[in-house]
Structure formats: C-alpha cells, structure tokens
Amino acid sequence: MEIENLIKAELVKAIEELYGTTVEEKSIQLQLTRKDMNGDFTVVVFPLLKISKKNPVETGEDLGQALLNSCSSIASFEVIKGFLNLSLSQSHWLKTINEIAGMEQYGFTKAKADSPLVMIEYSSPNTNKPLHLGHIRNNLLGFSVARIAEVNGNKVVKTNIVNDRGIHICKSMLAWQKWGEGKTPESTGLKGDHLVGDFYVKFDQEYKKEQKALMDAGKSKEEAEADSELMKEAREMLLKWEANDPEVYGLWQKMNQWVYDGFDITYKNMGVDFDKIYYESDTYKTGRDMVLEGLDKNVFYRRDDNSVWCDLTNDGLDEKLLLRKDGTSVYMTQDIGTAKLRFDDYKIDQMVYVVGNEQNYHFKVLALLLDKLGFDWGKDLMHFSYGMVELPEGKMKSREGTVVDADDLMEDMVNTAREMSKELGKLEGYSEEEAEKVFKTIAMGALKYFILKVDPKKNMTFDPKESIDFNGNTGPFIQYTYARIQSVLRKAKDKNFAIPEALDTHIELTAKEVQLVKAVNNFPQIIAEAGKIYSPAIIANYAYDLVKDFNQFYHESPIAVEENEEIRGMRLKLCMIVGETVKNAMWTMGIDVPERM
C-alpha cells in the first residue's frame, strides 16, 4: 500500500477512536509538505474541527500522536496552526529504495486491453517547404505528449496530417515548371523538401517583381494583385489538379514524393515517428461528403450563392463556412474528413490535436461540428495549444525564405556539441564513430530539453548556445549527470562492490540521502500530473531538480571510497535508482542519455 493511502487509512481509524465519528478517506486532505517546512506529508486539520470540537493545535496533536503510535513509517510530527506535518522514518525511506529498485519501468503504467485509446496528431506540414523551427517545437511536443500518455496507461496512436493540396502547393509547382530547368534532388544534391521550398520562395520573389512592375505602371496594390498573371496561372493549375489533369497531377505526385523523402530524413534525425499518416488530398473529399450529409440532416444550411454553412451562434460562436459557392472545400472540411477516416480506422476515446495557439478558435468550431455530426468524442477533443517559438533574432517568414530550417538547426547543434565537447575534453579516448554518436545525442538532448522545459502555453525564444551549456537547467547537464552515475556504477563493478538485494533498514541516512530518495519517490506522481495536463515541462523540470539533488549528494557522500560496506551498498543502490529514474524521465521527452560522456 502506498504510504499516502496508509496514512489516510490510519487517520480514519484514529478519528473514529478519538472522536467516535466515521469519515471517508477521500475527505481527508493529505498533501506533500511545503519545501520551506519540516516534514514529508501534511494533513490539513481545519476540515476536521467540526468532528473533534477542539482547536486546530489540539486536534493536530491528537492525530499526530495517534499516527505515531499506530504507523511505524512515521518518525515524528509537528503541528503548526491548522497543519499537521508528518516526518517519515529512515527505515521507511530505506524500504522505499528497496521497493523502487525491484520495480520494472518505475513510475510507468502499462496499457491494458480495456485502456482508453488516445490519438495524438502532430507535425501537420505543408509539402511546399521544409520543416522549420516552429515544426520542431510541434513535433517534439507531440512526440513527448504521446509518450506521456503511453506511460500513464493509455493505448496511443501517433498520427500526422500532411497538407499536400491547395494554392500554396501549386505555387512551388508552377515556379519549378517556369524556372526549374528540370532540376531534381539527385541533380542538385539537395534534399527534396529543400528543393521544393526554394521554388516556393522563387514564386514569391517573382510575384513581388510582377506586383512592383504593375504598381510602377500606375495600378493600385489591389489592382496589381487582381491582374497578376502568376497568380492566375497558379489558380488555373489548382483547378487542373482538382480535375485530375494528367500532367499537373503527375508533377504534383513527383514533387510531393521529393518532399516526403526529405521529411523522412528530418523526422529520423529529430527522433520522432508516426503510426499513421493521413493526406489532405484524400481527406478533403470525405469531408465534403460529410458536409453534404450534414446538409441533408439539416445540421448545416445552404445560402443563396450555393455555399454551405453551419450556424453556431447559439453556441456562442459565429457562422462557419464549410463549402465555397463553387463546391470546393475549406480547411475545416478537411479536418471533418480526417476525423471521419480516423474514426473508421480506430476506436478513438480521446483525440489530441497538437497545433499552435493561433488555431484556438478553429478547434472550438471543429469540436462543435464533430459533435453535431455525431462523433462521440467530438465535443471532448483536446486542442493541445502551444505558443510560438523564435530565435533571438526574431520572427520567421516562409515565403521570404527567412525561416530557421530544421535540418540546418540540427546540424548546427551537432557542430556546437562537437566543439564544446572537444574544448572541455569530455570525450577523450573515444573512437571517432563513438564520439560522433555522443555529439548527436548531446545536441538533440540540448535542443529537445530546452524546448520541452518551457510551459507549452508560453511563447519562447530558442537560444542554441544557451541550450547546449553543460551547466544549469539544460539537457547536457542532465545527460552528464546520468553518465556520471553510470561511471560510478561501472567503477564499483570493476572493484567487485556488490549492490545488495535488500538494504538493512537500520542504516543511518544523511539529510541529502533522504532528500534524494524523496525526489525519486515523487516520480510516479510527476508522471501522473504531466499526464493530466499533457505537459512535458513538468517532467523536464523534475529531471533537473533530481540531478541537482544527486550532485549535492555526490559531492557530500563518498561512494566507491566508503569503507562501511552497508553504507557503500546503500549509496550504490541509490545511484542505481536515480540513474534509472533520470533515464525514464528523459525517455518521456524522446531524449537519449549516453552511458559515457
């Protein structure tokens, strides 16, 4: 029985014996003691005063003494106003070390046959450009949220919707037709997504030149936009695509494949993946059918110009366009279609969309539309809304080619990790291949941790140099501490120092050792809390606090040179459970930890 449940059960008994009243365990307020107070758990006494008919201090004293007599895990208590602070015994913390060491995947809950199925959508790229810094935050959050849902006992499906149709795709295609000179990824040596993205930028450059020429000839900005031959050609190409014109459709397939091949490399380097990928070019047709079905059922209505809408004013929103007057789909139509296809493929209990906060309104509308169309989980879908990410230099613009490319950023991070590691002499004695593997592990750990430690709801600035520091609240600092723990355990093994199966519960623990066991003991609670609100930041900052506690312990407590065999064995076992907990915490964020560093 967990100690919290044990304390609550003993309190129920004490209240009945002391005051002759039966209470339910759930009515007892038990919480972790504040860090600035003595103790491990705190009982809030105020709600019990009606039962005790005594003042807070007297009631606290009664209950504290009763728990001290009945529960061997409690060593002492202290009453401060209406709060009963309980301190657990050293023997309890030693038993805790034994219990944690004997658990597989400590802190994680495995899914069962009847566990809920959570589908998490992330990435959602366009096929007219490579992934950029904003996509990195999206992918890292989505992948970590999926792992957090998994270790909280859910079945999880990771999914992606690729925006592979629309005018923006045609802009890249038209630019390649006009100025591409038959270039391919193979002929240029460029990743396919980069090549296509270059033509998206090229279209915008030529479009701006055309606009300027028209405006220099005396036309207004609006007239110049209306008279743009380039934009007319792009729209004509889109109409041809929708009509399945063989030439346009063939070019679309070819250029999209270039992009998919490029995306696959980026995703692999980023360490993220998907169980199922959907494509807007498939889902928009299903969405259109769903809208027409909703029209037949009077869920939606048609205006005089032939466009289809949904009136959401009774729900506190406005009216939403679902099909244009020419019958073509909008983004909302595609999302309805994607939801239908997903529901056909999987029995979804919870749908989580990892999309930036600029789409908050879109997902409020989507939830209502899916509910009106009869999806059980529609109204309860979760929009995991997150803030924007920028570099210290400021905002990025895809059309102007000023985005921070994901591939370039990851390569720069590896180069920085390589330089800093060599400077600090971290990897002396490694083969070149081993060192390169660690450089990448450090670089990606730095990138992922720096992004994931921030509350997802907040906008953030990503500073590559700050993220890769080996000191402070960074991924490399946590990775280095993990490697230090493994080094301690290897040296102990070399000296044939055994880690005992079970610790003697009479060993004296130092204050730092107790603090460290407490920190590890809190890990399941941290995982559960992160799972409730889908927040990797909770786990990230827990991992940092845990390695800070370990480093204080490490500097104050001899391990390999400790002569007392029992104390040395206890400290080695403590190292072992801290190392495993750090590794598990980092795993939930998709971060690897090197065994040597």
Work out the percent of the chain whose per-residue pLDDT is above 70. Answer: 98
- Using alpha carbons, list the distances in angstroms from residue 195 to 123, 192, 199, 280: 20, 5, 7, 22
Domain membership of residue 52 as a residue range: 3-88
pLDDT tens readout for residues 525-581? 999 999 999 999 999 999 999 999 999 999 999 998 899 999 999 999 999 999 999
* Dist CA 407 CA 131 (whole Å): 8
* Dist CA 24 CA 47 (whole Å): 13
Spatial neighbors of 49 by CB under 8 A, at least 6 apart, are 55, 56, 59
pLDDT tens readout for residues 365-385? 999 999 999 888 888 899 999
Decide: residue 553, CB within 10 A, 0-12 exposed, 13-18 middle, 19+ buried: buried
Tokens (6 digits) for 105: 């995947």
Q: Is 152 helix (H, G, I), strand (E, B) or coil?
A: strand
* Dist CA 261 CA 214 (whole Å): 39
Q: Which helix (H) or strand (E) holds 185?
A: helix 185-188
Q: Single out the residue of 347, 373, 162, 384 nearest to residue 287, CA to CA.
A: 373
> Where among 232, 257, 273 does a domain terminate?
273
Over range 63-82, report the average pLDDT. Answer: 95
- Indicate if 431 and 576 belong to the same structural domain: yes
Q: What is the CATH number of the domain that holds 464?
A: 1.10.730.10
Q: What is the CATH number of the domain that holds 52?
A: 3.30.1360.70
- Indicate if 420 and 560 belong to the same structural domain: yes
- Indicate if 57 and 194 belong to the same structural domain: no
Over range 33-56, report the average pLDDT. Answer: 93
Q: Single out the residue of 297, 302, 319 nearest to residue 310, CA to CA.
A: 319
Domain-located, residue 193: yes
Domain-located, residue 36: yes
pLDDT level of residue 105 (50, 70, 90 thresholds): very high
Reduced 3-state DSSP string for 101-151: HCCCCCCCECCCCCCCEEEEECCCCECCCCCEHHHHHHHHHHHHHHHHHHH
509-535 b/e with 16+ CB inside 10 Å = b? beebbbebbebbbbbbebbbebbeebb
> Where among 256, 273, 290 does a domain terminate?
273
User: Residue 162 pairs with which residues in a beta bridge?
Assistant: 279
* Dist CA 511 CA 79 (whole Å): 21
Over range 255-277, report the average pLDDT. Answer: 97
- Indicate if 72 and 176 belong to the same structural domain: no
Work out the percent of the chain whose per-residue pLDDT is above 90. Answer: 84
- Indicate if 74 and 169 belong to the same structural domain: no
Rounded mean pLDDT of the chain? Answer: 93
Q: Single out the residue of 1, 11, 90 nearest to residue 47, CA to CA.
A: 11
Spatial neighbors of 550 by CB under 8 A, at least 6 apart, are 481, 485, 516, 575, 578, 582
Asked if residue 396 has pLDDT above 70, the reply is: no
Least confident range from 60-64, 85-89, 372-376: namely: 372-376
More confident residue, 267 or 392: 267
pLDDT level of residue 402 (50, 70, 90 thresholds): low
Domain-located, residue 119: no
* Dist CA 188 CA 203 (whole Å): 19
pLDDT tens readout for residues 187-226? 999 999 999 999 999 999 999 999 999 999 999 999 999 8
pLDDT of residue 235: 92
Asked if residue 594 has pLDDT above 60, the reply is: yes
pLDDT of residue 306: 95
Q: Which helix (H) or strand (E) holds 80?
A: strand 74-80
> Where among 273, 306, 324 does a domain terminate?
273
Phi, psi of 273 (to 5 degrees): -150, 180
Asked if residue 398 has pLDDT above 70, the reply is: no
- Indicate if 82 and 171 belong to the same structural domain: no
pLDDT tens readout for residues 136-177? 999 999 999 999 999 999 999 999 999 999 899 999 999 999
Helix axis angle for 406-424 and 432-452, nearest 10°, is 120
User: Residue 41 pairs with which residues in a beta bridge?
Assistant: 32, 86
pLDDT of residue 597: 84
pLDDT tens readout for residues 313-338? 999 999 999 999 988 888 899 999 99
- Indicate if 75 and 175 belong to the same structural domain: no
Domain-located, residue 283: no
pLDDT level of residue 399 (50, 70, 90 thresholds): very low
pLDDT of residue 420: 85
Asked if residue 53 has pLDDT above 70, the reply is: yes
Over range 355-363, report the average pLDDT. Answer: 95
Domain-located, residue 315: no
Asked if residue 397 has pLDDT above 70, the reply is: no
pLDDT level of residue 265 (50, 70, 90 thresholds): very high
- Indicate if 41 and 171 belong to the same structural domain: no
Q: Is 347 helix (H, G, I), strand (E, B) or coil?
A: coil
Domain-located, residue 178: yes
What does 153-175 look like in DSSP terms, one character per residue? T-EEEEEEEEB--SHHHHHHHHH
Cβ atoms 259, 196 nearer than 8 A: yes
Q: Which amino acid is at 232?
A: K
- Indicate if 432 and 524 belong to the same structural domain: yes
- Indicate if 80 and 181 belong to the same structural domain: no
> How many domains are contained in the chain?
3
Radius of gyration, alpha carbons of the chain: 30
- Indicate if 182 and 72 belong to the same structural domain: no
Q: Give me the helices (H) in 425-508, please.
A: 432-452, 464-467, 475-494
Asked if residue 128 has pLDDT above 70, the reply is: yes
pLDDT of residue 307: 95
Over range 424-448, report the average pLDDT. Answer: 88
Q: Single out the residue of 272, 389, 370, 266 nearest to residue 320, CA to CA.
A: 370
Cβ atoms 400, 201 nearer than 8 A: yes
pLDDT of residue 400: 47
Q: Single out the residue of 248, 215, 221 nearest to residue 234, CA to CA.
A: 248
Least confident range from 109-118, 258-267, 321-330: namely: 321-330
pLDDT of residue 469: 87
- Give the count of beta carbons closer than 10 Å to the beta carbon of residue 265: 13
Domain-located, residue 17: yes
Domain-located, residue 517: yes
pTM of the model: 0.91
- Indicate if 201 and 66 belong to the same structural domain: no
